[in-house]
């Protein structure tokens, strides 16, 4: 299974020089919890709604502060062709909940830990359905004759 | 930011006591040496696709080799 098999969300970006207030408005308008911070179109960081609380509000940074002052610097990403095991590994190694997906050098989507869990759960549900059918209707499509009973 | 395959990439620690992370660039994915880079981290040998942030520095492979040579 590939990263591309998961549901992607369109990446929402904010410029490195924009304000914390602008980031908050984008969170509200887009109904999301993280933004990719870009400098001249290239990702340089991630800012989350929690960053605004912990790194700005809690430290008295005003809403006119720059978003790059509260972002997490650097962006760990995944290729759309990467195996899903790599997605799980990235979540674990880097203690993050959202990963941008890139096509060459451009961010084309975002996959969250929630997305991965929902997708995996739905696959498990599909497998569970198959298993339930096989339990209720054992050998339903098996056209072979039943085993002979041998008198001893 | 520009890099070549084999260059050394360092991310400085953000807090007191936080170690810096050092890796080797295995692949340059952007045009003309631009990010993203595939980086193999020295500490755990894992490989990460990374867009470096402002806290990141890149040293040419040759310069690193020369430094090591001078230390010996």
In three-state form (DSSP H/G/I as H, E/B as E, the rest C), the secondary structure along A64-94 is: CCEHHHCCEECEEEEECCCEHHHHHHHHHHH
Q: How many helices (H) and strands (E) does chain A have?
A: 4, 7
**A123, containing H or E segment:** helix A113-136
Question: Do A138 and A130 form a contact (C-beta atoms < 8 A)?
Answer: no
Q: Is residue B39 part of a domain?
A: yes
Determine the Cα angle at A104 with ends A98 and A108, to 5°. Answer: 45
Residue A115 backbone zone (phi > 0: left; psi -120 to 50: alpha; other: beta): alpha
Q: What is the mean pLDDT of residues A31-55?
A: 92
What domain count does chain B have? 1
Given a contact cutoff of 8 angstroms between Cβ atoms, the answer to whether B53 and A74 are in contact is: yes
Structure confidence at residue B63 (pLDDT): 56
| pLDDT surpassing 90 at residue A48 | yes
Those residues with Cβ within 8 angstroms of residue A132's Cβ, 6 or more apart along the chain or in another chain: none
Residue numbers of the domain that contains B46: 8-63
pLDDT at residue number B52: 93
Cβ–Cβ of A105/B50 closer than 8 Å? no
> Quick one: pLDDT at residue B70?
45
Q: Quick: pLDDT tens for A76-116.
A: 999 988 888 888 888 888 888 889 998 888 888 888 888 88
Measured between CA atoms, the residue of chain A closest to residue B34 is A105
- DSSP-derived 3-state class of residue A140: coil
pLDDT for B15 beyond 70: no
Residues of A in contact with B30 (CB under 8 A): 104-105
**Is B68 contained in some domain?**
no
Confidence label for A20 from pLDDT (cuts 50, 70 and 90): very high
B54 in any annotated domain = yes
Domain membership of residue B40 (yes or no) is yes
Averaged over A16-27, what is the pLDDT? 96
Determine whether the interchain pair B53/A44 forms a contact, defined as Cβ–Cβ distance below 8 Å: yes
B43 assigned to some structural domain: yes
- Please indicate whether, in this complex, the C-beta atoms of B55 and A73 are within 8 angstroms of each other: yes
């Amino acid at each position: 299974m590939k990263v591309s098999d998961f549901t992607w969300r369109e990446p929402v970006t904010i410029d490195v020089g924009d304000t914390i207030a602008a980031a908050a408005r984008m969170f509200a308008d887009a109904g999301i919890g993280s933004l990719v911070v870009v400098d001249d179109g290239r990702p340089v960081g991630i800012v989350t709604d929690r960053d605004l609380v912990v790194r700005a509000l809690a430290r008295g940074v005003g809403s006119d502060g720059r978003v790059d002052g509260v972002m997490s610097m650097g962006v760990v990403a995944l290729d759309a062709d990467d195996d899903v095991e790599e997605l799980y590994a990235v979540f674990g190694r880097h203690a993050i909940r959202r990963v941008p997906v890139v096509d060459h050098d451009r961010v084309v989507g975002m996959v969250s830990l929630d997305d991965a869990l929902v997708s995996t759960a739905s696959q498990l549900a599909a497998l569970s359905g198959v298993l339930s059918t096989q339990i209720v209707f054992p050998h339903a499509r098996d056209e072979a004759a039943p085993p002979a009973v041998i008198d001893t | 930011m520009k890099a070549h395959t084999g260059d050394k990439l360092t991310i400085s620690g953000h807090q007191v006591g936080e170690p810096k992370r050092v890796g080797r660039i295995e692949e340059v994915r952007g045009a003309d040496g631009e990010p993203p880079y595939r980086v193999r981290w020295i500490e755990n040998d894992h490989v990460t696709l990374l867009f470096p942030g402002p806290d990141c520095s890149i040293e040419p492979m040759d310069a690193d080799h020369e430094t090591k040579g001078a230390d010996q």
